[in-house]
Amino acid sequence: MNKIKVTTSKAPNPGGWYSQAFRAGDMIYTAGVTAADPVTQQIVAPGDIVRQTEQVLENMEEILKAAGSDLEHVIKTTVFISDLDMFEEYNETYKKFFPVDPPARSTMEIGKFNNGMVIEIEAIAIAKD
């Protein structure tokens, strides 16, 4: 099985030495996706868990599209948030993107991110094609 690097300009550039995602067979593995605007590369709405969750999942959708998938085909997410006290706000926003059969999920508090970032999400998805 070959691995195929997935890259799209419709999601933010990696903030370090890593790839946006890889596809191996029918499986897609994303890196941690942030709430950076794909055009400006700046974190949107510093400190705002609701707006950042929306931006993260919009960015993730673009990466998954580039890999031949979408949010409906996500089977697992790992979520890193800066403060578990924001869990309910993030969870309600997350539900809007996964309204039916939500993926398996792990959520953990990591403490501090840089530049007002409060959430990062990575995903495992299956291809839809």
CB neighbours of 82 closer than 8 A, spacing ≥ 6? 109, 110, 111, 112, 113, 117, 118, 119
**Percent above pLDDT 70 for the chain:** 100
Confidence of residue 31 (pLDDT cuts 50, 70, 90): very high
Domains identified in the chain and CATH numbers: 3-126 (3.30.1330.40)
**Percent above pLDDT 90 for the chain:** 95
70 alpha-carbon distance from chain centroid: 12
Question: pTM score, two decimals?
Answer: 0.96
Confidence of residue 50 (pLDDT cuts 50, 70, 90): very high
| Side-chain half-sphere CA neighbours of 37 within 13 A | 8
